[in-house]
């Protein structure tokens, strides 16, 4: 994605979302991905990928998003 491109509004969670439910859903999705043995659709950006390549790209993408987290002050 080019720098400065806006976020797709549908991908932004509501401000009053349930953090615990979102984390549980994320863990379930990661588990499903790690245990999946079937074919993957080609990436619109990178074309066909092996499972190892796809996981590496997802790790980088996830780290990018997690870098925006700011701990709540208690």
Residue pLDDT, tens place only, 64-73 = 988 988 888 8
Q: 15-34 in b/e burial notation, b at 16+ Cβ within 10 A? A: eeeeeeeeeeeeeeeeeeee
Q: How confident is the model at residue 5 (pLDDT cuts 50, 70, 90)?
A: confident
Region 11-17: mean pLDDT is 84
Please write the tens of the pLDDT for every residue from 34-43.
999 999 999 9
pLDDT of the residue at 1: 63
Q: How far is it between the farthest Cα atoms of the chain? A: 45
* pTM recorded for the entire structure: 0.67
């Amino acid at each position: 994605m080019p720098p400065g491109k806006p976020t797709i509004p549908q991908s932004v969670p509501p401000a009053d979302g349930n953090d615990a439910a979102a984390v549980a859903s994320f863990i379930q999705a990661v588990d499903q991905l790690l245990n999946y043995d079937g074919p993957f659709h080609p990436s619109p950006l990178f074309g066909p990928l092996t499972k190892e390549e796809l996981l590496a790209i997802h790790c980088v993408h996830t780290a990018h998003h997690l870098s925006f987290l700011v701990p709540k002050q208690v």
